Structure 1
Amino acid sequence: AAEVSREVNMWAEKETNGLVKEVLPPGSVDNSTRLIFANALYFKGAWNETFDSSKTKDYDFHLLNGGSIKVPFMTSKKNQFVSAFDGFKVLGLPYKQGEDKRRFSMYFFLPDAKDGLPTLLEKMGSESKFLDHHLPSQRVEVGDFRIPRFKISFGIEVSKVLKGLGLVLPFSGEGGGLAEMVDSPVGKNLYVSSIFQKSFIEVNEEGTEAAAASAATVVLRSIVLSDKIDFVADHPFVFMIREDMTGLVMFTGHVLNPLAG
């Protein structure tokens, strides 16, 4: 069992360019394990317009508990893709386009209130087609513009979350088990015991490097501003990496502490 775990973890590390080193924690594979389904996703993108690292300086980042920490903030005087909405702003940073037609961007959803992340997350999860209605489409002149460098590594066992959302059959063995996936008589007796997911993302002046691996045992208009718009991400915010041609979201998360990676 230990050798199998080691082999899967080595595969995940190779496929994510060394960013995810242990998708299967110790003890997750034992003698009762019959199958392991694994997948990995790796993304590395350079900003279309990089940030000047000599202009990166430390400023306060305000935490949800009321405290603050010093964090390196990147800045630029160039026009940016920013839109302001009721209670929050959205920034889009395009990546350089590769050889194909795909166009990737990172989006930052910043609540106006320093403790406004929970309210923003609720809005994002409850409004139909939220993304389609809240992405900036044109560059605007910015005033005070700062976003933090951050690095995040996060792992979770997600079976309880999925069960809470109503996904029960794969974990119960009822209804034929995994017979539709496994071409063997034993398939009907198989069930999913655990699903492990681990992610890594780093954002700096050059761009973004991100990876994830898992294994299973009416149109709204933005507020039009004629003056310069500030975008200072000095408190918790939501981020995502999206392929803009298809609308596919590759990675998403929230930053509570840029130094907690």
Structure 2
Amino acid sequence: MLPCNRVPVGGFKIPKFKFSYGLETSRVLKDLGVILPFSSGGLTKMVDSLEGQNLLVSNIFHKSFIEVNEKGTVAAAASCALMAKCIPTGVDFIADHPFLFLIREDSTQTILFAGQVLKVIITSQTAINCIIRR
């Protein structure tokens, strides 16, 4: 228990010391159940971001520093969160089944051709034959 009144101090001697400590805190926070900032797009609604770009925290670093000497005491601490954009993973399209296709001109978006692949016959890694409905 701390005394309620100030206690007069006679001599006061402590050694000079200096130390610093750094820590990457993401794992600790996740273990404590803080998941949302580290999830895909977890910060998107909390900060301004470009349309379609999801934001998340990738790492959080903390560093502290204390030095005590005959001139006095210096102490500092800083934390930094690294943000990352979630780049949506592409969807692979492997045409090993029936599908529809359109060939479109980009600037006018005019559909030039339309077709339907009814059956795909894979004869090797590089050769694919199709039966096309016209």
TM-score normalised over the length of structure 2: 0.50
The structure, 1 or 2, with the larger RCO (C-alpha pairs under 8 Å, 6+ apart) is 1
Question: If each structure's helix is expressed as a fraction of its own residues, which one has the higher value?
Answer: 1
Q: Greater Rg, structure 1 or structure 2?
A: 2
